[in-house]
Amino acid sequence: MSLDSLPPLRDVIAQHDLGAKKAFGQHFLLDLNLTGKIARLAGDLSQAHAIEIGPGPGGLTRGILEAGAKSLTVVEKDARFLGALDDINQASGGRLTVHQADALDVDEDALLPSDAPRIILSNLPYNVGTLLLIKWLEADPAWWTRAVLMFQREVADRVVAQPGSKAYGRLAVISQSRCDVRMGLKVPARAFTPPPKVESAVVVLDLLPEAKRFADVQALGIVTASAFGQRRKTLRRSLAQAAGQTKASAEDLLNAAGIDPGARAEVIDVDGFQRLATEWRKAR
C-alpha cells in the first residue's frame, strides 16, 4: 500500500469512530491539499527527521510523509487514533513512529533520531499550544532547527508581533530572542472539522544560530512578565516586581540597559529586553 492509496480522512474517521473530542482540543484538517501546503512550509524534509504533535486522524501526518520526511515521530495523547496511524505507517514504508503520550511530558530529544536536523510540525491543540512553544523555545540544548506551527490567529499574531503593536508582548520577545519568525499561512475556521470559533494561522520559526540566540530565557521571562504585566504603566513602575528580586531598583536596571524609565514596555524592542534581562541577572 502507498500513501496515496489510503482512504479519504472522512472515511478513516467513520471507520475508526473518531469523532472530535473538545477536551483534547480536537479540530481536524481533512483537506489533504491544505495539509500538504502546511508540510511544504517546512522546506525540504528529505534530509530531516520530523516530529508532529497531535496527529489525530493523520491529515498533516500524511502531508509530512508525502513531502518526503526521512522519518516522522508523532506524539498523540488520545489512544483512539493509534489504529489509523498504524495504517499510515504501513503505507509509508515504516517511516512513522507513534508515541501515545502527553506532549508536555515527553523528552523529544531522546525520542528522535539524531543523524539529521529535527523539524517540528503541528496543528497544535489550542489548550496547550503556547505551553509547548515555550517548552521548545526554552529547550537547552536546543534539539530542533525549525518549527511549523498552527495556532489560533491571535496567538500567531503575538509570536510575530513588532514593537508598538497591540499584539507585541512576552511571546514576541521570547520567540524572537531565540528564532527568526514569520507568518506562514492564514487558515479560516471553516477549514477545520469541527470549525473552531476563531481563525487560525501557521507560523514558521527558525532557530537562530547559537551565537545569535539569547541564552537566559528565564531572566527574559521574568522581566517581560513584569514589564508587560502592567503594560499601560511606565517601565519605572511596571518593572518594580522584577527589580524586587534583585539588589537594584527598576530605574537602575533600566538606566544600565540604556532604556528610558519613562517609556512603556510595548515600545522597547527585542534587543532592549535582552539588555534588561542581562542587567537583571547581573543585579541578582
CA 227 to CA 264: how far, in whole Å?
8
Per CB under 6 A, does 203 bind ligand SAM? no
Helix, strand or coil for residue 51? strand
Which listed residue (1, 14, 82, 104) binds ligand SAM by CB under 6 A?
104
Q: Does 54 bind ligand SAM (CB under 6 A)?
A: yes
Decide whether 52 or 279 has the Cβ nearer to ligand SAM: 52
The secondary element (H helix, E strand) that includes residue 130 is: helix 129-138
The CA distances from residue 220 to 100, 158, 203, 236, in Å, are 33, 16, 22, 17
> What is the closest distance, in whole angstroms, from the C-beta atom of residue 227 to ligand SAM in the complex?
30
| Euclidean distance between CA atoms 234 and 23, whole angstroms | 40
96-100: strand order across its sheet:
96-100, 71-76, 49-53, 118-123, 146-152, 200-207, 179-187
Strands 146-152 and 200-207: antiparallel
Residue 75 interacting with ligand SAM (CB under 6 A): yes
Give the other-Cβ count within 10 Å of 245's Cβ.
14
* Nearest CA-CA partner of 220 in 187, 264, 174, 189: 174
User: Angle, nearest 10°, between helix axes 217-229 and 129-138?
Assistant: 140
Residue of this chain nearest to ligand SAM (CB atom): 54
Question: 254 is written with which cell numbers?
Answer: 533600566
Residue from 125, 184, 221, 272 in contact with ligand SAM (CB under 6 A): 125
From candidates 62, 64, 76, 88, binder to ligand SAM by CB under 6 A: 76
Q: Is 26 in the site for ligand SAM (CB under 6 A)?
A: yes
Interface size with ligand SAM, residues (CB under 6 A): 22
Choice from 102, 109, 154, 180 touching ligand SAM (CB under 6 A): 102
Stretch near ligand SAM under the rule CB under 6 A, chosen from 11-19, 55-63, 139-147, 152-160: 55-63
Position among 6, 12, 27, 121 found at the interface with ligand SAM (CB under 6 A): 27
Indicate whether 51 belongs to the interface with ligand SAM (CB under 6 A). Answer: no
Least separation in angstroms between residue 174's CB and ligand SAM is: 21
Tell me if 62 contacts ligand SAM by CB under 6 A: no
When asked if residue 55 is in the footprint of ligand SAM (CB under 6 A), the reply is yes
CA distance 74 to 46: 17
Q: Is 29 in the site for ligand SAM (CB under 6 A)?
A: yes
Burial (CB < 10 A; 0-12, 13-18, 19+), residue 8, is exposed
244 Cβ contact list (under 8 Å, min separation 6): none
Q: Give yes or no for residue 128 binding ligand SAM (CB under 6 A).
A: yes
The distance of closest approach from Cβ of residue 256 to ligand SAM in the complex, given in angstroms and rounded to an integer, is 40
Nearer to ligand SAM, 125 or 169 (CB): 125
In the complex, minimum distance from the CB of residue 63 to ligand SAM, in angstroms, rounded to a whole number: 9
Q: Which one of the spans 20-28, 63-71, 140-148, 247-255 is the region binding ligand SAM (CB under 6 A)?
A: 20-28
Alpha-carbon distance values, 148 to 14, 66, 185, 221 (Å): 28, 16, 10, 23
List residues binding ligand SAM (CB under 6 A): 24-29, 53-56, 59-60, 75-78, 102-104, 123, 125, 128
